[in-house]
Structure 1
Amino acid sequence: MACNSCAKPFTLFRKQKGCPNCGFIFCSKCLEHKIFVQKLNEEAKVCMKCAKTDNQCEPRKVEPPDAYYKRIGARTNQMYNSAAGNSKDQEIAERLSKLKQGKTEHQLKPEEEIAKRLQHLKSNFPSTSDNQLQLRLANLRGVPLSVVQSKPSLPAPDLRSEQEQADDLLKQYMEQTKIDNTYKDEFDTLVNDMEARLQKIKGSNSIKLSSSQEQQSENEDEETVKKIIEKVKAETFLEDQVSSTTNDELPFCEICNEDAKMRCLGCRYLFCKRCFMDHKDDEDGCDKYELYRPPKGTYTD
């Protein structure tokens, strides 16, 4: 194949393009004249012959270029020379011409073709119900059909206002403080009861003992009481420390959940270095920090 204007063959870098007005094939360099094309209802680049006919304001007749006639004439001469005595080729050519004429006469309109294609697509559409699709999905997942048909239960939306949410949080905090106070009162009463009982035991034994034994027993009782009180206090301190380390604080950054490297002295939150620089604020007192090391036994990546 070659260009109909410059007769240069088409290659990878010289691609063929059709003239939007006459429809013949040209290269991109030969389609350099821009005119208004009625078929497209807009301006487009056409060949030189179409541009000349447009400038002359003559009735537009689609005529092929001269190179096209030369090429067609050379081909027809070759065909006639090669098949001069072959009548079958003439019959095939006549039948092809008749088929082309019949196709142009009985050609359907674009709207009728689109409607016919849509009707054909609708007739071939597979009729599969929702139950069959759900059954196939259950078989693929390996679960019963009731699991696929059941709708996921979503949590109910919180319809409370901001004031109601604040009041509920305040009530929860007050109940927690009340529980802590009752626990502390019970602990104090137990300690006082133990001290009173020890004082009674110490007073009853002091009557029977001599003066030297009395001093020894008093010292021993005082030491035992001190040991018991210190032991109880140490146990409560360890419980508070374990609960605070296990439940309240995790050794991760408050923003990106990476390993914490420093603690803000203003808000006492844990941050990594990058998130602390984003969080840093002089007005809120969050401009100073201290290095943080996670306690032993905590989970870190």
Structure 2
Amino acid sequence: MACTICTKSFGFFNKEHGCPVCKFSFCSGCLKYKLVRDGKKLNVCLRCSALATVSVKEAPKREATVAHPTPNDDAVPTQSSNVPPTEPDGDELIRSKLQALKAIDLGEEDAPKEGEPSDNTDIEKRLAALKGVEYKDYKDASHRFMAPDNRTEAQKVQDLLGQFVEETKLISVMDDKRTEQDEEIAKRLQALKQFPTAGDGTPATASGSSKGTILPDSDSDEGLTDEELARKLAQRYAEEGKLEAKLNLESELEEITPTPSSNVEEELPWCTICNEDAVLRCRGCDNDLYCRACYKEFHYDEDPQDHPTVPFKGGKGPTRV
């Protein structure tokens, strides 16, 4: 719940109070107007206070009308001045609340009159403040963002021609720059092609070997030409490639060299099932050894083509005790 006028939420520090006349909820700051009714001092809202003030000002006029009735007043029944005012409809209630909000900001004496048209600017500002965003006026947005083009046809043509000329100049500059880069790359490739190499891919030196080659330091690259720099880079890459190939060869040799295994078990010349002397080997059972009785017993329902046998002549194995 929030206050009907200032829209502040009720909480521990902002208690909810009710207007004894209109029964709406207000905070203590908005329920500060005094009104005397039935001998009691009441704290009412701005709207109820304004209605009570208007009714007090109109009371002498009604008494004068009752004291000096017109000739047609005999036919019209008189109404008591104690009849309470009728309840306002929804539009009047909203209008009175908006006027009360404006009266709080501008002061009671600067509050707009009831007959004046209301402006939505204050409401938009308050809504922006409640949302926590900056208020922006979009009344003349169409005039600012979509300004009409007041140029003549001749001016439009001249502007288009100028834009086309500028774009053409920019394209020509980019093409020249790209051509210069291509020529520079071609020169470097030509310098690399002219650099002689040995049969094994290493750069050839004056003595015919690359053992005594000393690569120049990278700090001395500033005074070298493009051709010398290309030769230097090619020599360095060749040396690095040769070293890497040598390391790869050593690692491959280490992987290929088999390590002696001491866990190889010697095959025993006995039947796998009954531990008798084996007489045949089954190819379909991972070359297991069987005697004739065990082979017939455990392969009677198997396909002979899936379990071919070869005779086992016996091997050198441990003697049975």
Query: Which category describes the TM-score, using the shorter chain as reference length?
Result: under 0.3
TM-score by length of structure 1 reads 0.23
Indicate the structure (1 or 2) with the bigger Cα radius of gyration.
Answer: 2
TM-score by length of structure 2 reads 0.22
Larger helix percent: 1
